[in-house]
Structures are given as C-alpha cells and as structure tokens.
Structure 1
Amino acid sequence: MVVESDGLLDESSLAAAPLPQEAVHVRLDKPRMDDLADLVFLANNKQVAANLSTMPHPFTADDGRALITKANLNLHRSEGFAIRLKSTGRLIGLTRYANVEPGGPVHIGYWLGEPFWGQGFATEAVHALVDHAFMYTDIEELQGSCRVTNPASRRVLVKSGFQYRDQSMIRSVGAGGSVPIERYTLERTIWKSLKGWGQGR
C-alpha cells in the first residue's frame, strides 16, 4: 500500500471504537512499545519502504516509537492497528485508515513484513480494517492505492471490494522519488452489498 498519513490529524475525536473482529489467521489491535523490536526488524526493509509513501529507509527505533505513538492517538476518522498472528500474538505488520489531509478522502494503508508475504494475511487484515471503518465511523468512501509494480497489493485491494479508479504519481520516501500508482475506491453501499452476499452464502 502506498498512501499512509504521517501527520497528526484532527484531534476532535469520537470515543474510541472497539477493536476490529478477529480474522481467521490474524487479529488487529493497538501496537505496543514491547512490539518495537519486531516492528523495527520488519520495517527496516527497502522492499517494504519502497512500496509506501512515508516510511523511511533505514527505519530506526525512533521511527518505530513515533509510529507506535501515532497509532495509539484517538483521532477522528483515523485508526491504526498492529497486524498480529493469532497463533502467537506476534506483530507482523501495520494497517490504518486516516485522512491524509484534513477534510480530504479517507485512505487505507497496510504493510506486512517480508517473511509474511503471500499467505493471505494482508487480505484478512484489510477486510477487518474496512469493516471497522464502515461499522464505527460515518465514512462513506475509502480510498486505497498501490504501486503499479506491486501486483500483490493490487490483489489485496480487489479481494477487499475496492474498484479501480485511475492512475497517478506519488512521492515515496523509501523509493527515493515519485512513483506511479493505481488508485482504488470502496463505497459504503458496495461494502454493504458485499457483506450481505457473504452472509447469504
């Protein structure tokens, strides 16, 4: 996922929402300072950083502390979560939804450490994140994006109900410059329909 917010957002927060429902193999909850070693080990990876907009490389312990602190702020229309393996409780990545700019569209972001790629964990995490956003906020549309060279991230978005919108360019700190991205959207009405079909089966 390319777009993730790095600034402090509107702090006129609603009461903290419940945590997302657990998925089959992962659960989402708040990252903690005792996750710092795992976070730095997984995030300090050029291949991870190059697919995101604001993640630096190298990724230091100070970067990790700042990320954990930000994820635990109660902000309006913004939530950040650790992605954990249910079997061990180990942090394997992060996910969030947030306004990139005040009053702007709400974007989702997600990343997994490289040892956990290709196992369906990101799709489970994004499903749980999307459900949380639409169940506990008044958000009407979510936006997601991925680098055009990242088919795995594209599959996560499509499997989560997002529909292709257009292409654009974005600056990526980890990639060291501007990169082409594909942008996707998911409306609340589409999400409701998809949830209804799933319950019908």
Structure 2
Amino acid sequence: MVVESDGLLDESSLAAAPLPQEAVRVRLDRPRADDLTDLVFLANNKTVAANLATMPYPFTVQDGRALITKAGVPRPNFALFAIRMKSTGRLIGIARYANVEPGGPVHVGYWLGEPFWGQGLATEAVHSLVDHAFTYNDIQELQGSCRVTNPASRRVLIKSGFQYRDQGMIRSVGAGGSVPIERYTLERAVWKSLKGWGQGR
C-alpha cells in the first residue's frame, strides 16, 4: 500500500479492457470530475497519507483535480482506477499499478477512505486490479509494499496472492520522512493458479 505512483492512466492498456472491472461489492473504473468532492474528503486524511508514498497531506482540491487530470495521460504498464461501491457508484478509494521507475518493476498501490476500512473491500479491489494488470499487459510480476505498522494492508496483499520478499525503507510524503516497509511479489504463474480468488477455499 505504501508504493503508489503519480496518477497517470495508460489509455493503451485500458482501451482493450472491459470497463468497469467488476468485483462482488466494488467496481473499478476511471475517476471523473464529479468524483472530486468524495476524493478530496476521503484522501484528506493523515492516516491514509502516512501509509502511502506520494499522497500529500493535506490533500487539497487542487491535488484532487491534478490526479483526475493526469488520469487521461497514456503510459505503458499503468492503470489508475476509482474504487466504487457498486450499490451507490460513489468513489471510496483509488487503486493503480505502475512502473515506479521507467523499465522497473510494476507496483500496485491502493487506498480506501477510512469509513470503508475493515470490510474486505480493499481485497476485492486489489483482486480486480491484479486481474486487470495480468490480463491486459505482458507483466510477469507485480510488486506491492506496506508499512510494517499496517497489518490491514499486509493482509490484503497476502489474500491477493502476494508473497513476502524482504524489508526496506521508503520516503513517505504523508508521514514526513522515511518509513520501514515490507515488500511482496506476485508472479503471473501464481496468479493463474489463484484466479478463483478463494473459490473452494
């Protein structure tokens, strides 16, 4: 959950993808201008920002507009989604995958607004995000990270098939400095074996 990148949307991968990406209770689709109020309200949370790499705190209207605007810029191996409740269509968070560095590994990043924590919604969203990444891109491995103090994000990664790799440090804008993280990986072959996402478990 810590590693997420600037909100740039890869039109080339999304053009071929059916949108929205459906899960049981949530769906992933493109952020829109009319999401701005919900986006700013939920993102302007120090606890959320402190668990991410690049999200500022305070998160302003200008930050929200910039994220939505950047969502239209093409970039390889990248998708940026609004996480929405299927029942209401309202934005409850953001999920994306991207090369943090050009040619580098593809990282997943995600966050939910605090009112939606602890309900399993992030796991649904990450399952859909992973499915999109492997289905519509030639990605062989995804990486994910979480702060060592964030057991909820660790559970999301593990439930999504990611396997522990190592620990390290990363700079978090919201936390105001470097924080220790755990890094996880998910290979395409493992994803294929888990595509039922818990069916039969």
Instruction: Give aligned pairs, total.
Output: 200
Q: Cα distance 1:197–1:127, how it changes in 2: closer, same or farther (>3 A)?
A: closer
| Alignment check: 8 A CA contact 2:11 2:73 kept | no
- 1:2-17 equivalent positions in 2, closer than 5 A: 2-6=2-6, 13=12, 16-17=15-16
Asked whether the equivalents of residues 3 and 109 of structure 1 are also in contact (C-alpha less than 8 Å), the reply is yes
Query: How has the CA–CA distance of structure 1 residues 119 and 103 changed in structure 2, closer, same or farther, with 3 Å as cutoff?
Result: same
Which residue of the partner structure matches residue 180 of structure 2?
180
Matched, 1:82 2:93: no
Q: Match of 1:38, as an amino acid?
A: D
How big is the alpha-carbon RMSD for the aligned residues of Structure 1 and Structure 2? 2.0
Give CA deviations for 1:29-74 in whole Å, capped at 9, x if unaligned: 0000100000000000000000000000000011001111222323
CA 20–135 in structure 1, closer or farther in 2 if over 3 Å, else same: farther
Give 1:108's aligned residue.
108
**TM-score, length of structure 1 as denominator length:** 0.93
Please tell me the residue identity of whatever aligns with 2:159. Answer: K
> Which stretches in structure 2 are left out of the alignment for 5+ residues?
none
Q: Quote the offset at 1:197 in angstroms.
A: 8.2
| Cα distance change of structure 1 residues 12 and 120 upon mapping to structure 2, 3 Å threshold | closer
Residue 35 of structure 2: aligned partner: 35
CA distance in 2, matches of 1:120, 1:72: 29
Code of the aligned partner of 1:106: V
TM-score by length of 2: 0.93
Alignment partner, residue 190 of structure 1: 190
Percent of aligned pairs sharing the same letter: 82
How has the CA–CA distance of structure 1 residues 14 and 88 changed in structure 2, closer, same or farther, with 3 Å as cutoff?
closer
Task: Specify the alignment match of 1:65 in structure 2.
Answer: 65
Counterpart residue number, 2:44? 44
Matched-pair contact (CA < 8 Å) for 1:27–1:84: yes
What is the one-letter code of the residue matched to 1:179? V
- CA shift at 1:198, angstroms? 5.7
Secondary structure of 2:133's aligned partner: helix
- Structure 2 CA distance for partners of 1:140 and 1:116, relative to 1, 3 Å: same
5+ residue gaps, structure 1, are: none
How far 1:98 sits from its partner (Å)? 0.4
In the alignment, which residue of structure 1 is the partner of 2:140? 140
Determine the C-alpha separation between the residues in 1 that align with 2:136 and 2:51.
28
